Structure 1
Amino acid sequence: MMANVATAKTRTFTQKARRAQIVQAAIEALAESGYAKASFTRISQQAKLSSTGMISYHFSGKPELFAEVANTVIGQARELTAARIADETTHRGRLSAYITSTFDFVARHPLQARALMEIVRMVRDGRISGLDDVEHTVSSVECLVTLLQQGREAGEFGAFDCRTMALAVRGATDSVLRHHLCGQRTQLQDAARELADIFDRCTRPT
């Protein structure tokens, strides 16, 4: 079947609802079965669709569908983080909010977090093409670099390389969350507070 019968601007309410239904089913299939078993058949069953053709009508293939899944999850996570950061009045508070909101998103939306992890793993293992932009977006630390630079200019942070510190924050955060999502259960709230405290101490002016 012909995919993408309408552009994002011209899709009807029904088409948007169907795409959202398929995306949610793909999230559940990826989280529960892994990317190796997240076939269109599995996803159509999860969405209670009559055939895989309904997926093909809205998405040209797995790359487009999984890109939509990734962008949906990333958008949800960014919305939560932005709201938490906006509530803070200091750069130190914003750094803490950045760290703790990431853990909070995983605690609130474990299926979405696992699905995104599966997509990134799929890209890195070379199991799917056309999703390099997704991996780049997931691994980007540009917003965190900017936050640290602004805090340093305001005198709230010490004289460190902001990109190196941003990579350290993301590396530590991602490592703890990856272990949690892979079955090594972690008390996420405790881990979030611990990491926020560690990097609060690491970034203080000397």
Structure 2
Amino acid sequence: MHTEPDAAGSFIEQARRAQIVQSTIEVLAEQGYGAASFARIAQRASISPGLITYHFQTKDALISAVLATVEGRLDAAMANPEGEEPESYPAALEGMLRRFAEHCRTHGGEISAMTAIRREVQGEAVRQAVARTDRRGSAELVAFIREGQEHGQFRAVDPALYATVLMSAMGEFPRFRADDVEEQRRVAADWVSLFVNAISTTAGPGEDTDPADPTWSAP
């Protein structure tokens, strides 16, 4: 099979950029944002620092690429599996949060890198990218909650408030790391249940629908 030089060059450049991004993720996850210098990233990738600047002229450009990569993978992981349609809005929320928690467990390094960027970022371009992502995520979540409320499946809570609290909790969730897989999954199940039951009009397992009901009693 004949490959055109431009196509080959493009493929090689894309592969090199992907290698640099992945090495940056690993350095961020292990050593933090402050330690993610071109020198350390180059050492991890077994390349020269000059090769990084060839593909990413500034650290902001590299960090923006890392953020886009990690967030893209997370978005894909949280999406409904192809051909699967949740039976209700609470089920859709549960599935999304369950997949988020599982991705955090299996891709902890990526999540740690994203968290480090969001907490310690200094460049204006990256700050704006983070802000855009947050606005988009919040708008999508608010629209989803409103749809669920219109169908009578979500409680009449303020959608923006719920979205803000949930997104904040998603940012903190990766800190809840247990010693073994089963414990991690138990914590994840409790976390997911907490947010689904908080907004669903149907009670969760073993719960009554209305705490104001005189027959209700706390466990």
Q: Same fold per TM (> 0.5)?
A: yes
Distance of 1:53 and 1:131 partners within structure 2:
22
Identity of aligned residues (%): 29
CA deviation vs aligned residue, 1:40-71 (integer Å, no higher than 9, x gap): 0100111111x111001100110000000000
Distance in 2 separating the partners of 1:19 and 1:155: 47
Give CA-to-partner distance per residue, 1:169-192, whole Å, 9 cap, x none.
Answer: 222332232x237xx869432222
Question: Residues 122 and 128 of structure 1 are in contact (CA less than 8 Å); yes or no, is this contact kept in structure 2?
Answer: no
Moved more, 39-48 or 83-92: 83-92
Deviation at 1:150, TM superposition (A): 1.1
Distance 1:16 1:105, change over 3 A: same
Contact kept, 8 Å, 1:95 with 1:147, in 2: the verdict is no
Residue 129 (structure 1) aligns with = 124
Instruction: Work out whether residues 173 and 195 of structure 1, in 8 Å CA contact, stay in contact via their aligned partners in 2.
Output: no
Name which of structure 1's ranges 157-166 and 10-19 shifts more when overlaid on structure 2. Answer: 10-19
CA RMSD in angstroms comes to 2.4
Does 1:176 pair with 2:173? yes
Deviation at 1:128, TM superposition (A): 2.9
- The verdict on how the C-alpha distance between 1:188 and 1:147 changes in structure 2, with shifts beyond 3 A counting, is farther
* TM-score, structure 1 normalization: 0.83
Unmatched segments (≥5 aa) in structure 1: 1-8
1:4 paired residue number? none
Residues 138 and 162 of structure 1, relative CA distance in 2, 3 Å threshold? closer
1:6 alignment partner in structure 2 = none
Aligned-partner SS, 1:130: helix
Unaligned runs of 5+ in 2: 1-6, 202-209, 211-219
In 1, Cα distance between equivalents of 2:186 and 2:115: 22
| Counterpart-to-counterpart distance in 2, 1:173 and 1:130 | 23
Asked if the contact 1:74–1:138 (Cα under 8 Å) also holds between the matched residues in 2, the reply is: no
Describe the SS at the equivalent of 1:131: helix
In 1, the alpha carbon distance for the partners of 2:195 and 2:120 equals 31
- Name the stretch that deviates more: 15-24 or 92-101: 92-101
1:77 and 2:74 matched? yes
Cα pair distance change 1:166/1:88, threshold 3 Å = same
- Corresponding pairs, count: 191
Does structure 1 residue 18 correspond to structure 2 residue 13? Answer: no
Larger radius of gyration: 2
The 5-angstrom pairing of residues 53-64 of structure 1 reads 53-64=50-61
**What is the rounded CA distance, in whole Å, between the counterparts of 1:153 and 1:24 in structure 2?**
42
1:101 aligns with 2:96: no
- Aligned mates of 2:12, 2:33 — CA distance in 1: 28
CA offset at residue 11 of structure 1?
A: 6.9
